[in-house]
Amino acid sequence: MPEAKKLWGGRFSGGTDPLMEAFNESIHFDRRLYAADIQGSQAYAKALKRQGILTATEQKTLEKGLSAVLREWQKGTFELRPGDEDIHTANERRLSELVGSVAGKLHTGRSRNDQVATDMRLWLRDEVTALIGYLRTLVGALVERAESDVDVLMPGYTHLQRAQPIRWSHLLLSYAFWFQQDAVRFEQFLPRVAQLPLGSGALAGNPFQVDREWLAKELGFASVAPNSLYGTSDRDFVAELLFHSSLTMVHVSRLAEDLIIYSTAEFGFVKLADAYSTGSSLMPQKKNPDSLELLRGKCGRVFGGMSGFMMTYKGLPSTYNKDMQEDKEPMFDAVDTLSGSLQITAAVITTLKINPDKMRGSLTADMLATDLAEYLVRKGVPFRETHHISGAAVKMAEDRSCQISDLSLADLKTLHLSFEKDVMQTWDFEKSVDRRSSIGGTSRNTVKAQIDQLKQWLA
């Protein structure tokens, strides 16, 4: 079989070093763009027909040929050949085999520079839409769990130290709102992805006056890249994808960390389903939260892809440079990692078992020290003073090796005369959480309002 011609080979008389061939090719990863590449080519063929570059018969021939190439990819029968350095070369080579020399007209006025940028945006548009769906599913799982567990109280933590009592649902909803904001950011990102580079040529524009606005409409793009230099070299959409993915994975990682801690024997608040746990090859008693640990670990993977890409992107001169071949693998990996992570997280939340008695049993009276200070505020004592008085009560209980709730009214009156009999009502965890009733608080009513707010967003 004769050696395949390079799309760019006319200027060269010597062969390429086989090592350079392997170093240069990207087909082993950019083959994922096969459907987007074919979709863009079919639209471009129509645009060429509109300008009289292709006859109606030629355009139909190319469209049918490209559809046949697509079916081969979908069925797994597409055969890569030596010289198929990237997805564009592979598709055009196979198209030529199927339809003959008319395939050579398809690239008229088009460069791989605007072609690959279009392919990436087409592919990413669909993937971001799927990611938004996974985020909505995860938010729904958290909301459903929060609604069913609304009466469960637990310690809230700052600095990983017991701080104040909260509802377990309140904690779940905090993550639900983070993931909601992640979804909103991806939704706002979509129009910036859907900006058409096709028709920009290699850098200077298209000399055949193809109708780029028509192309944008045909391919479902929201707008046209307004400058051809920008259109072929812009990869801000990749950087933005990697940032949004990294931030979302930070939220996944933080939720995973909380659940890892709460699943330990020392806490015993939650228990992972067997489907999302593994054992030890040595210690039979172990049940490890591997799903959560992998979620936590994969955050670093996505962030690493972002930082690596940004280091490549920052030093490029204007328009297309081969360095940009390094944009696809972090993009693919971020989408794959985030997609899997969101689905696993939702499944973990749905199947998680909690131990409400253990959660409530971890509440201690000293966590109501702030409530004691607020009691005095309601008696007219300035908060800065009540803070010190409550601190003195904590110290008194520590010195006596008892709970702060064990102090008598007489003991408390030695600290301030404003204490009265009703102070004993302070030592009630249910009343404590329900006093936090302003918007966003942990009271039953405000938690239910948060649930309703998220349900309305999901509807």
Which positions are annotated as active-site residues?
A: 159, 280
Which residue's structure tokens are 């008389």? Answer: 13
d(CA 448, CA 459): 16
d(CA 119, CA 238): 13
SS3 assignment, position 271: strand
How many residues are listed for the chain in this entry? 459
Q: Are 252 and 349 in contact (CB under 8 A)?
A: no
- Burial of 95 by CB count in 10 Å (0-12 exposed, 13-18 middle, 19+ buried)? buried
Look up residue 272 and give its two tokens. Answer: 């992972």
Q: Are 358 and 269 in contact (CB under 8 A)?
A: yes
Closest to 369 measured CA to CA, from 167, 166, 163: 163
d(CA 136, CA 124): 18
d(CA 60, CA 42): 9
d(CA 451, CA 47): 49
Check the CA dihedral 90-94-95-100 and report its sign. positive
